[in-house]
Amino acid sequence: MPFRIGHGFDSHRLAVGEGMRLGGVWIECEYRLVAHSDGDALIHALCDALLGAIAGGDIGRLFPDHDAAHKGQDSGVFLREVMCRVRAAGYAVGNADLTLVAQSPKMAPHAPAIVATLARELGVDASAVNFKAKTNEGMGHLGRKEGIAAYAVVLLQRVDPPPSV
């Protein structure tokens, strides 16, 4: 099949802290993410979208949160492993579209760095990665800053001929 599509979702709780990594970019703010790894929900959603597209399961199965090796893990490591699997399956990323729902922190100043970082990891031009952040208009647990949520959609293209692995 020349194209495969995948969707991913992730969420993490917020706690008082000194910052968090989202989309592989460190963001200084008055919160931190509660997680076994670094809690980069944006990368976790992206990993699940990529794995979804190759019918490769999900990030929780690949990197169990009861595994001490993943404690405080930079989620970029997860993304690089997932991209290895995408390439091994014979696919390259066509484009990726990511949405973060967060009442805080303010994400707009960080968008260019997030797009550049993720494009590099995915092996695509920055024009193939879209990142948008929204508040939840103050509604519900996201609006009360109890957590953040992230959604990702990716399109993969068959590489012809497939890389030798």
58 with 10: CB under 8 angstroms?
no
Shortest separation between residue 61's beta carbon and Mg ion, angstroms: 13
Residue 62 or 124 having the CB closest to Mg ion: 62
How far is residue 36's CA from residue 38's CA, in Å, rounded to a whole number?
Answer: 7
Shortest separation between residue 88's beta carbon and Mg ion, angstroms: 23
Shortest separation between residue 44's beta carbon and Mg ion, angstroms: 4
Q: Give the footprint of Mg ion on residues 8-67 (CB under 5 A).
A: 10, 44
Which residues 6+ apart lie within 8 Å of 67 measured at CB? none
Could you give the angle at the alpha carbon of 23 between the alpha carbons of 22 and 28, nearest 5°? 35
Shortest separation between residue 119's beta carbon and Mg ion, angstroms: 21
Residue 14 or 128 having the CB closest to Mg ion: 14
Residue 41 or 96 having the CB closest to Mg ion: 41
Residue 76 or 94 having the CB closest to Mg ion: 76
Q: Which stretch binds Mg ion (CB under 5 A): 7-15, 24-32, 65-73, 140-148?
A: 7-15
Q: At what angle do helices 41-53 and 111-122 cross, to 10 degrees?
A: 30
The answer to the question of residue 4 lying near Mg ion (CB under 5 A) is no
Shortest separation between residue 108's beta carbon and Mg ion, angstroms: 23
Residue 21 or 44 having the CB closest to Mg ion: 44
Instruction: Kindly give the residue spans of alpha helices, DSSP state H, lying in the chain.
Output: 41-53, 59-62, 75-88, 111-122, 140-143
Closest residue to Mg ion using C-beta atoms: 44
User: 28-67 burial by CB neighbour count: b if 16+ within 10 A, else e?
Assistant: ebebbbebbbbbbbbbbbbbbbbbbbbebeebeebbeeee
- Which residues make up the interface to Mg ion (CB under 5 A)? 10, 44
